[in-house]
Amino acid sequence: VRSDGYRLSNIFISATHDESAPDSLGLGGVTATTSGVNDYWLRYMIDRSARAIERAYRSMRPAHIRYTEVLEPRNVRQCWSSYPFVDDQHIPVLQAVDDRGRTIATLASVSQHVETLGFNGGTPELNAERLWVSSDWVHFFRSSLERQLGGIGIEMAGAVGSVESPEVYSTAISRTPQRYLLVAHSGGCRTLFDVDGQQDAAGTLHVPLGYSGETRAFGEQVAGRVIQALGSGAYRNSSSNTIWGQRTNVCVPLDNALFAFGAALGVFAHRPGYNADCSQAFPVQPDGATSGQALESQVAAFEIGDGEFLSLPGEVFPFTYLRGFLGPADMPNSSAPLPPWLIPRMDAPFRFIDGLAEDMLGYIFPLGNAVGIPTPSMPNPSSTDRFGCEHSDDSESISGHAADIIGEALVPLLGRHGGAPERIVTGRYVLGDGTLSRDPLGGPELKCSTDTKFQAALIPARAVELASGRVVKPRYWMSLSGLPQVAPDRDTRGYFDQRGRRVWLDVFPERSPPRPRNA
């Protein structure tokens, strides 16, 4: 873009993590020790991306920004590949319209993998589709937005780490967990939800797999939620015209021994390694080989009116920065603290996770959840934790410290823009029978060989008890994205006080023994 004579700032790059696209990282080679990067295609992608940026710049015109947030369809059953089983079903949406109300662009952040084709197989048709070059369900999502709303449709990857393609059913799925299940699905499916009281472990009741089946159904149905909200006027016009953005470098240790081995063999093609503090780059050799103890990357945050975005360079587990209802005893490593809680440090009404943004460092999760990362001292670790849960994603993480490093880099960046974070308090939810709980719906937090059945409270949380013992009756409950809720659910992360201020509830720390019922 710069070589074409443009002097632009605040360009933020994001990927959908499409697993049916050509390989730009290198891990999809013919063998595990050869790079999958095709230089011709890579140059083509860079050129087309630059042209798109330039074309967008040349066609700029005055716009009005609208925001809304919707939930994923009720008829999808969430699947996970690794513990912990925390997801984000909220889809924040930005729409830009011109002075006549015509759509310029509609963008939505969806926290689901884009892999419905990449893991299919078992029949000749599915085996063939697995090899297609396709944008997967995102094609149907974008096409639906553009057909119904006009303009350009954009899917932004949210917190997709471990959150695999969901199963699509014809009936609604409860949003309250029931039990741990391992069910059949092409991408692998560890789930917490029954279907009409059945496990459907064989996967015979959901929409058939395939491009014209599950792929299309999920893409169009997710788009339908966005279209319905915007078409019915269930949106908010931005009250701010602030445009802001900032990025900063981060240096992440290359702890993954397999990644280091691949770098030495040229698997990652054009990516240099660095010394331990990233003060010196090790040039990439003609065959793509490099070395080093760390990788340099970038994180960013930007704001468009009433919407604020966090750019995170990898597949972020939702629990990492959106939290959940786990405590130290629910973590594979109970002694490790959590990374900074970033969402309370954002100051816009609508808050977006922009995953796989600026870069791709692999999976990003709290240090206490790092189980199966191969290191020089333990090159072949077990991927099973003390709860019997698999961590198949860990081998694709650069370091268990990545989440802390990324979070600690974003805290001052957000602070310089938005000031002090919103209020965070330590406490527990008070269930309807008076029991204190980390989870407003009941418990325990489900695992794999222990705590496998969820006991839903007869009456969910009705109040919050702070660490001081003070009991608070919320004006509204609050979702993980900071928006009001009438009733608590699995996405609740705090409450609005009687003055309408956000209060984020940190349930992770230990505290005195739970108060007995009716005490």
For 8-37, what is each residue's pLDDT tens digit?
988 999 999 899 999 999 998 999 899 999
pLDDT higher than 90, residue 188: no
Q: What is the pLDDT of residue 117?
A: 92
Categorize the per-residue pLDDT at 519 as very low, low, confident or very high, splitting at 50, 70 and 90: low
Contact 134, 117 (CB under 8 A): yes
How many angstroms separate the CA atoms of 166 and 190, rounded?
10
- The structure tokens listed for 205 are 């009741």
User: What pLDDT is stored for residue 256 in this prediction?
Assistant: 98
Q: Does residue 337 have a cis peptide bond before it, meaning omega lies within 30 degrees of 0?
A: no
Burial label for 48, CB within 10 Å (0-12, 13-18, 19+), is exposed
In this predicted structure, what is the pLDDT of residue 518?
A: 56
Q: Is 160 exposed, middle or buried (0-12, 13-18, 19+ CB in 10 A)?
A: buried
What would the pLDDT profile of 314-372 be if each residue is shown by its tens digit?
999 999 999 999 999 999 999 999 999 999 999 999 999 999 999 999 999 999 999 99
Residue 298 has pLDDT above 80, yes or no: yes
Higher-confidence residue: 29 or 446? 446
Helix (H) or strand (E) holding 485: strand 484-485
Whether 336 and 375 map to the same domain: the answer is yes
For the segment 397-426, what is each residue's pLDDT rounded down to a tens digit? 999 999 999 999 999 999 999 889 999 999
Evaluate whether residue 34 is within a structural domain: no
Do 360 and 298 belong to one domain? yes
Question: What is the token pair recorded at 143?
Answer: 């096409």
CB atoms within 10 A of CB 467: 13
**Euclidean distance between the first and the last CA atom of the chain, given in angstroms as a whole number:** 66
Q: With both helix axes pointing from N to C terminus, report the angle between 216-231 and 137-149 in degrees, rounded to the nearest 10.
A: 30
Domain carrying residue 299:
243-418
Over its C-alpha atoms, the chain yields an Rg (Å, rounded) of 23
Select from 206, 237, 268 the last residue of a domain: 237
What domain count does the chain have? Answer: 3
pLDDT at residue 514 above 70? no
CA distance 307 to 92: 9
- Which pLDDT score is estimated for 512? 64
Sign of CA dihedral 320, 326, 332, 335: positive
Average pLDDT estimate for 43-55: 96
Looking at the DSSP bridge assignments, the partners of residue 414 are: none
Clarify whether residues 119 and 149 are in a common domain: yes
- What residue has token string 């999809």? 28
Is residue 513's pLDDT more than 60? no
Residue corresponding to tokens 């994001």 = 14
Asked if residue 33 is part of any domain, the answer here is no
| % of the chain at pLDDT higher than 70 | 98
Q: Which of 369, 398, 418 is the last residue of a domain?
A: 418
Q: How confident is the model at residue 285 (pLDDT cuts 50, 70, 90)?
A: very high
Q: What percent of the chain has pLDDT over 90?
A: 93
Mean pLDDT of the 270-285 span: 97
Does 301 share its domain with 251? yes
Q: Are residues 414 and 433 in the same domain?
A: no
In a domain, 515, yes or no: no
- Whether residues 171 and 130 share a domain: the answer is yes
Q: Which residues pair with 108 in a beta bridge?
A: 93, 155
The overall average pLDDT reported for the chain is 96
Task: Give the Cβ contact number of residue 38 at 10 Å.
Answer: 15
Query: What type of residue sits at position 180?
Result: Y
- Per-residue pLDDT of 421-439, as tens digits, reads 999 999 999 999 999 999 9
Mean pLDDT value across residues 170-184 = 96
Which of 47, 46, 45, 22 minimizes the C-alpha distance to 35? 22
pLDDT of residue 9: 87
The SS3 of residue 172 is coil
pLDDT value at residue 454: 99
The yes-or-no verdict on residue 517 having pLDDT over 60 is no
Which strand (E) or helix (H) includes residue 94?
Answer: strand 90-97
pLDDT of amino acid 515: 57
